[in-house]
Structure 1
């Protein structure tokens, strides 16, 4: 299979490229390198382009002729989305529209789309499954929900087959240790904790300590990036099954919730020393608890996390931070 990874120089995208290669597939990357890292895709076939420029897609798609598209090119910072919503509707909605139209023009009919639990908004039950109401509380969530709807409509009307994967908090790093999570600016909890542990920042800020949770801190479901990639491979295979619908939707998560403070304490165990921190005000648009109900992915795709232990996830990320290449 030939797979074009949109956003393949980013954190999850670069891990997906490795997973596809290990599975024996022919892979190319489409990326504008606004946040991705060239070092993560050295030696690979790369189309440098932007989803907001249809001509870039019209160059890449006929040249590579992929059997499968995988989309990882969203803007994904909740706080930024509340301050600069136009960036999110532009990239995450218009960019996906352009991709879908390019796929129609060039006869590409398979898509795996990276989505998010942010589409659910405030949880109404302990485990968030695919039937949970979608009522985002931030612009990022709305932009991804709008993109999902466009994809579903394209499946109904244009013959597209797509799998939308709503996942929670990706974390960890590839076992080889040469690719990992590095954003600029860095807003994700675990890499910020480990940057402090590595001496690259003075302290980590924890946002809010008076949520209605067991210890007052936000609770999140962390899933190892390699487990996410395994699910994408299974979802891609499922698109070939005639007995499954053209539009498929799956949650991906461990089904366990860890508070921000629990993640910090677990990281201190992994690195073997205290990690300086301070508590700041809560961020707008952050729900108190997000924990996945992922039984559908288990039953339909046959997927299950293989690296579900929090210390195992943190340890893999710590190896990357200690030998960081970019």
Structure 2
């Protein structure tokens, strides 16, 4: 199958593109050419690379035409953030299978957990609202076959994962490494649900390779377990040889103890309290994430620490 991957050098594409080549797919990557994959792999030499600034091409109405001209059987769109972007792509295609990367933020706050793909969606914030609008557009049109993959907090070697305080402040990990100390809001029982980038890539590929089962469907893409902030902090402290020394403070105090931007990021994550089910992907596609949540976050943190020390 000839497959075009839009934005294929980022978190997901780093794993997806070599895997597609390994599976025998004729693979084309469209990217701005400004970033290298997070992991080296000799299979990248077999990938057809197309350099394109998507925003600029879309402003000229040329992006969809570019993708259509590559004559793909399927398109994986990892960098679509508005309905207008999705529409320009879809209207240039004719019957292909499009796999779109959504987000669990399209659901809004978790209610009855674990949340399934059939759970009501009430997103807030521009990002989540836009991702839901794209999903509804793709599922409502009939020009292409569409599948949507909704990742949780994508993690992996090469970048700091969402940390135990629900943000990406490196000082949180530094404190846990140094002596097991960490400040958390309230009782530290809000959840965050990570997913290894390799497993996100794997679910995209499962959709591509089983189009009859995946077309017209959306799928959660998370580890099979979520972490509470407290459990996460304890995990990291003990990983670095310390007993946890957690300070649980009311939210009003937490926001005075951390930088304002980090407090905002924390609230964005714990306000949704994500906890989702992976049953649908297993039932329809036979897909089960290979990375546990503990291995996912610790691998990412260890790689980040090594990079700082190296």
Q: TM-score, normalised by structure 2?
A: 0.76
Whole-Å separation in 2 of the counterparts to 1:255 and 1:194: 26
Equivalent positions of 1:142-157 (< 5 A) are 142-154=129-141, 157=142
Whole-Å separation in 2 of the counterparts to 1:46 and 1:207: 45
CA RMSD of aligned residues (A): 3.6
Q: How many positions carry a matched residue from both structures?
A: 280
- In the superposition, relative to structure 1, how do residues 273 and 108 fare at CA in structure 2: closer, same or farther (>3 Å)? farther
- In the superposition, relative to structure 1, how do residues 263 and 207 fare at CA in structure 2: closer, same or farther (>3 Å)? same
Cα deviation, residue 208, structure 1: 6.7
1:189 pairs with 2:163: yes
Contact 2:102 2:149 in 1 (8 A): yes
Cα deviation, residue 164, structure 1: 0.9
Partner of 2:2: 2
Whole-Å separation in 1 of the counterparts to 2:288 and 2:273: 22
Match for 1:172 among 152, 156, 162? Answer: 156
Say which one has the larger Rg.
2
Task: Determine helix, strand or coil for the equivalent of 2:49.
Answer: strand
Task: Determine helix, strand or coil for the equivalent of 1:289.
Answer: coil
Q: Which structure has the highest helix share of the two? A: 2
Contact 1:161 1:246 in 2 (8 A): yes
Cα deviation, residue 98, structure 1: 1.5
Contact 1:224 1:313 in 2 (8 A): yes
Partner of 1:209: 185
Equivalent positions of 1:33-182 (< 5 A) are 37-38=35-36, 40=38, 43=45, 44-49=47-52, 50=54, 52-53=58-59, 54-62=61-69, 64-74=70-80, 91-103=81-93, 107=94, 109-154=96-141, 157-158=142-143, 160-173=144-157, 180-181=158-159
Deviation track 1:211-247 (CA, whole Å, cap 9, x = no partner) reads: xxxx3353111222212222111111221x2xx4741
Q: Which blocks of at least 5 consecutive residues in structure 1 are unaligned?
A: 75-90, 174-179
Q: TM-score, normalised by structure 1?
A: 0.72
1:314 pairs with 2:297: yes
Cα deviation, residue 301, structure 1: 0.7
- In the superposition, relative to structure 1, how do residues 225 and 274 fare at CA in structure 2: closer, same or farther (>3 Å)? farther
Deviation track 1:146-166 (CA, whole Å, cap 9, x = no partner) reads: 111111122xx32x2111112
Deviation track 1:262-288 (CA, whole Å, cap 9, x = no partner) reads: 334323444557999985345564425
Cα deviation, residue 132, structure 1: 0.8
- In the superposition, relative to structure 1, how do residues 108 and 320 fare at CA in structure 2: closer, same or farther (>3 Å)? farther
Whole-Å separation in 2 of the counterparts to 1:140 and 1:274: 38
Contact 1:10 1:37 in 2 (8 A): yes
Q: Which blocks of at least 5 consecutive residues in structure 2 are unaligned?
A: 247-253
Whole-Å separation in 1 of the counterparts to 2:24 and 2:238: 37
1:218 pairs with 2:190: yes
Partner of 1:83: none
Deviation track 1:11-33 (CA, whole Å, cap 9, x = no partner) reads: 12222112212222222211236
- In the superposition, relative to structure 1, how do residues 188 and 102 fare at CA in structure 2: closer, same or farther (>3 Å)? farther
1:299 pairs with 2:273: no
